[in-house]
């Protein structure tokens, strides 16, 4: 896979021997690729990513994989708060309010090709391909509800959630019951926590809880089910079951 390497960001430091475990997908929310390159390569911005993919599928390598690019910001996943040290950041030239408001075929083709290479190089688990909104659900929305996760799933790059059998769902529900988790909210928070999300403050803050659930549903539910609380809960239980089977 060929990269454009003539632009380099100064905004990185050492991983300090941390192993790459995650791939984080972002969107730029800027006007075009050149504006994104300028922003990500300015020292005073103190932000960068390893890769930037344009609308026409060009892949820019702005920071070498061996370095810690500054793309995740304040984030959390599976009790880890220094996400930059264990991740590769990929920015997409996309702005929901701009002319570049489509995830083009060429862009997604290049993204899938890049992800495939990174999965192989770093032995990353399919559970480790995340949205910026997964690791920072209280402050970030990217890559947004229109990002084609199904395309990545169809290409077997991310976990394809198979529907559990009734007896398998009953096992999970019995486990909830044995731990005195009665409300759907309690079960939802625990499931999200086990999957990896930051649930530290959501028990006592409804606003944060709603943001967390919104981030989850925008990624995992289709448009017709996105506001259906039963669909959100059922998807979450299915996700938890699949995660527990594939977490290694």
Tens digits of per-residue pLDDT, 150-196? 999 999 999 887 777 888 888 888 888 888 888 889 999 999 999 99
| 225-237 tens-digit pLDDT | 555 566 788 889 8
Phi, psi of 60 (to 5 degrees): -100, 130
Whole-prediction pTM:
0.94
Is residue 168 annotated as a catalytic residue, yes or no?
no
User: CA-to-CA distance for 21 and 173, rounded, in angstroms?
Assistant: 30
Q: Which residues of 132-145 are buried (b: 16+ CB within 10 A; e: fewer)?
A: bbbbbbbebbbbbb
List of domains in the chain: 12-154 (3.40.80.10), 166-246 (no CATH)
Q: Which of 35, 44, 91, 168 is catalytic?
A: 91
Give residues with Cβ within 8 angstroms of 73, minimum separation 6.
Answer: 47, 136, 139, 140
- Specify the pLDDT at position 38: 98
For tokens 């890769």, name the residue.
51
| 109-128 tens-digit pLDDT | 999 999 999 999 999 999 99
């Amino acid at each position: 896979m060929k990269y454009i390497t003539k632009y380099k960001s100064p905004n990185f430091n050492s991983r300090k021997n941390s192993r790459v475990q995650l791939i984080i997908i972002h969107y730029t929310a800027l006007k075009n690729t050149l504006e994104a390159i300028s922003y990500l390569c300015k020292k005073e911005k103190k932000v960068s990513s390893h890769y930037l993919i344009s609308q026409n599928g060009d892949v820019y390598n702005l920071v070498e994989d061996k370095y810690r690019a500054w793309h995740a910001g304040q984030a959390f996943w599976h009790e880890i708060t220094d996400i930059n040290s264990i991740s590769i950041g990929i920015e997409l030239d996309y702005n929901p309010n701009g002319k570049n408001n489509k995830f083009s075929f060429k862009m997604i083709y290049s993204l899938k090709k890049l992800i495939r290479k990174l999965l192989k190089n770093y032995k990353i688990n399919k559970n480790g391909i995340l949205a910026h909104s997964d690791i920072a659900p209280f402050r970030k929305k990217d890559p947004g509800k229109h990002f084609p996760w199904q395309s990545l799933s169809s290409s077997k790059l991310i976990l394809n959630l198979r529907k559990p059998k009734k007896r398998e769902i009953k096992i999970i529900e019995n486990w909830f019951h044995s731990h005195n988790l009665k409300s759907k909210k309690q079960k939802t928070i625990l499931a999200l926590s086990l999957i990896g999300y930051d649930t530290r403050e959501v028990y006592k803050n409804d606003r944060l809880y709603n943001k967390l659930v919104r981030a989850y549903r925008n990624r995992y539910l289709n448009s017709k089910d996105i506001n259906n609380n039963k669909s959100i809960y059922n998807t979450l239980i299915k996700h938890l079951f699949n995660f527990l089977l594939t977490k290694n």
